[in-house]
Amino acid sequence: MLFAYSIVVHIGSRRFVLPSLILDSVSYLHLYAFDMNDCFMLVDNEYNDVVFRLFHFRPRVGESPFNHISKENAFKFKSNLNHAKRAKRGEAFTTVSRISRGQKTPLYLEMIYSPIYDHSGRTIGVLCLILDVTWQKTREEKVNEMISKDSLTKLYNRSYVESAFNECMFNKMETVTLILSDLNDFKHYNDTKGHIYGDNLLVRYARILEDIMPDNAVVARLGGDEFVVLLPGVSRKQTEFLINVARLAVFEDIGITASYGFHTDSYASHKSFEDFYMIADRRMYRNKKNKRNLVENE
């Protein structure tokens, strides 16, 4: 596969001249290119194999992918062609795609798009270089998890939930709720039955909260036996229902009780995370002191 011209590739501020002979000889480079009519103008062996596994055809220079793939699979190529359109307008950029693989570790592909120019400076197509960055992204996710999650319960930590709260305010959420909770007499159980028993209580309670709270909730452990739940878009009445479900579940599943307090307000209140926390904390301890079965929110 030889071209009669060199390909000038701009990646960021860097400029590369790739003669077709070099492109054809570097078998390990994972790349492909579209011409101005969205037909393949360059395909390396590895990309050819990937397309065959996914779409059951082998790309050929001069052919459009839509000549071979079904309508159901056509949308999978759409994003590539949309990126190609950006590059045709002279823009060079990078994207990272996450590809699910069932039970296997997701595949992360970094895709560098660049216009292809001939020697006269005319755009003749789009080049895409594909790099497998799965190892780097997986490592990055593990580091981020270490930073944002509690090592014992695997719930989020205070830093993460504060960030999520600030995002709710930035996005002007009309209803934001913060629930604060702790386990009654936890210190007694921890001191008399041991730290392993105490840790097990915390982990089991964490799972109960995760199971009960809605998908968009952020459940976090602040430290000790103190837990917090951020609920975007959840009303006071809905919050009371969720808390009552949690209260019953913790007693039935673990055999102990928990205390709760919460505060609901809008972004328009201009309250900080600390403001929400202090109000919920005050109500939780008032509920604990009064041994109330119902949640006091007002």
What's 102's domain CATH number?
A: 3.30.450.20
Count each helix (H run) and each strand (E run) in the chain, helices first: 9, 11
Distance of CA 16 to the CA centre of its chain: 34
Domain endpoint, select from 139, 168, 184: 139
pLDDT per position as a tens digit, 4-39: 334 444 444 444 444 443 344 344 346 777 788 878
pLDDT top residue among 51 and 225:
225
Strand-pair partners of 260: 181
CB 178 within 8 A of CB 277: yes
Q: Is the pLDDT of residue 69 over 90?
A: no
The per-residue pLDDT for 130 is 77
Measured between alpha carbons, how far is 119 from 248 in angstroms, rounded to an integer?
Answer: 74
Last residue of a domain, one of 109, 139, 169: 139
Greater confidence (140 vs 1) lies with 140
User: Quick one: 68 and 117 in the same domain?
Assistant: yes
| Structural domain includes residue 144 | no
pLDDT band for position 54 (50/70/90)?
A: low
Determine the structural domain holding residue 181 and report its residue range: 149-290
Q: How many domains does the chain have?
A: 2
In a domain, 247, yes or no: yes
Mean pLDDT, the chain, whole residue set: 81
What mean pLDDT is predicted for residues 82-103?
80
Of 227, 243, 236, 230, whose CA–CA distance to 293 is shortest? 243
Q: Work out the average pLDDT over 169-183.
A: 93
- Residue 42 pLDDT > 90: no
